[in-house]
Structure 1
């Protein structure tokens, strides 16, 4: 359908599964496209704060480094870490917060991740241009990133950069977010990704949120998605979320734990009631 409508699709493939499932696609790896931690766009700092659980003092120090230093000197992760090290200490609490911040971000300078990120710079348009000019789904396979925090950071920045690009270009775009609990967890949501759920529809950008458990996701994930496809669920907590989110007859709700492989409950704003479907 997306190909017929000429809408570009990017799949953020958490486990490297889609290249085995899709017969027609363009496969990319993170090393093909390094991402800027900071591109002068709203929400960049919030992404790092959410993922690395920065304290307010650490967030203050990082923001101070970004604003005070010459951006040309912050192109590399090593340059960013050095800038944090040499930042003058303003108070007694400053040193410990600075060292802790340095420890948290130093993983980004490891050899296996050094090609994935740049500290500061204008966001590249290469991936956006590629996405807009291909007629097949683009799969970004991030399965080879072993560290969970680094994986979440790369995926979150990728989503954010592409949404910002599509918004600036007034282009339609569909993003498939697998393992959505890594971005939209109730315990530690990535705030800019949560905000996208509320705002991006008016910019013609669609998000397909895929998760094993609805109860693990922030309320916005259910409240701000128009179409829901629910496969077999046996968890009481998940069933309670479905019941609160989708108005359906008890007879249909009671079927959910017993759905066979390929069966699902389909709910969308164009239907008066949810229906049982078979996915081939």
Structure 2
């Protein structure tokens, strides 16, 4: 993007971006404030910025950290499921994308077309045959059923292919001359070069897995196996609505994603920028 030397335009752009940021962060700020309010105040006044500051309390968070043991079970389930999905998705999706980018084989364009078609199909359409497959494999109410459909993500395959199109082929030829295998070339040479794309996809895949509600809801049955989105949804029942605990728990769910983005934000921006112009 070409920089401008017009001070007025610079100020207008800055004010505009600040305004957009405020609008985007307003719901989050409202959520954080509401998480410190008691349930009676929330039921009486709703989630709004108009409230009595004297009613703010830490009781909701104290309850989560001391008494809501099942909440941390849900939290742990989401953490390790997301970690496994991110690791496996990055591994297999990068291998598929890399193969579609650098190798010439029969049916290559057909397989890439399949990736694009699956990418355009909403998951809700695929959910029923996937669920039937889980029934046939007897994986319903297991963590494996949650993980398997996310191992190879079409969006990640497409992204890695676009990124791998810009990798230097000369390094591959040099490695072959030195006697390296194709797996050695990928893991020792090409995969490190794909670091920015891996970081970008780690954030996106981690975010999708962490917030995934529909598929775990379909395949999981036991309360102690629920992930955070499902577990928090169970706090709202016809017999009682624990909005105070729900809001405090929702705030806690944001923390891992914020930490993940802070750690990889530099690589995230670089990966999206470079991967978006390849091919």
Q: TM-score when scaled to structure 2?
A: 0.22
Higher helix proportion: 2
Q: TM-score when scaled to structure 1?
A: 0.22
Higher strand proportion: 1
Name which one, 1 or 2, has greater alpha-carbon Rg.
Answer: 2
